Amino acid sequence: MGTPDFIRDIRATAGHQLLLLPGVTAVVFDDDGRVLLGRRSDTGEWSVIGGIGEPGEEPAVTAEREVYEETAVHCVAERVVLTQALKPVQYANGDRCQYLDITFRCRATGGEARVNDDESLEVAWFEVDALPPLSEFALFRIKQSLTDGPTWFARTPQA
């Protein structure tokens, strides 16, 4: 869960100023329609899988990589579910970031779900009608992933 080297390099000259960073969320389903969740080591809460892209990495590849790194599950990103600029966050060290999230619906293609790095305390498959307590962030992404509707996006009126 460490900060990627390229972000450390930016922070060396940018200090704590707000950085807009590309983020992805992967909502992964298996052949039985269960959703893959990880219990985060930083908050202890269950959530969908996510992370930030490396320079030059396509967002779908980022989603697939993050899922494998965190859960040991191989998957294929099938479609973009939503895009959303998240609210800025400030970390304990003073760094400020705002993530532009691209959420993908993904299909598991192999591997056994297990904790595969230090970002998760637990990893498990859940029936969609028997989810553990989840944030609105995760619930909304799962809900959108279950529809065949168009990609969801917000449009904030300009002042």
Rounded Cα gap, residues 89 and 100, in angstroms: 12
CATH class for domain 22-147? Answer: alpha beta
Q: What pLDDT shows up at residue 3?
A: 82
> What are φ and ψ of residue 125, in 5° steps?
-95, 140
Domain ranges of the chain: 22-147
Q: How do residues 135-154 score in pLDDT, each as one tens digit?
A: 999 999 999 999 999 999 98
**In the structure, what pLDDT confidence band is assigned to residue 157 with cuts at 50, 70 and 90?**
low
Q: Does residue 158 register a pLDDT over 60? A: no
- Overall pTM > 0.85: yes
For residue 129, the tally of other CB atoms under 10 A from its CB is 6
- Please state the rounded mean pLDDT for residues 105-120: 96
Provide the β-strand partners of residue 126: 35
Listing DSSP states for 15-80 in one string gives TT--EEEEEEEEEEE-TTS-EEEEEETTT--EE-EEEEPPTT--HHHHHHHHHHHHHS-EEEEEEE
pLDDT tens per residue, range 76-93: 999 999 999 999 999 999
If you search the block for the tokens 């909304």, which residue do you land on? 140
CA distance 84 to 99: 8
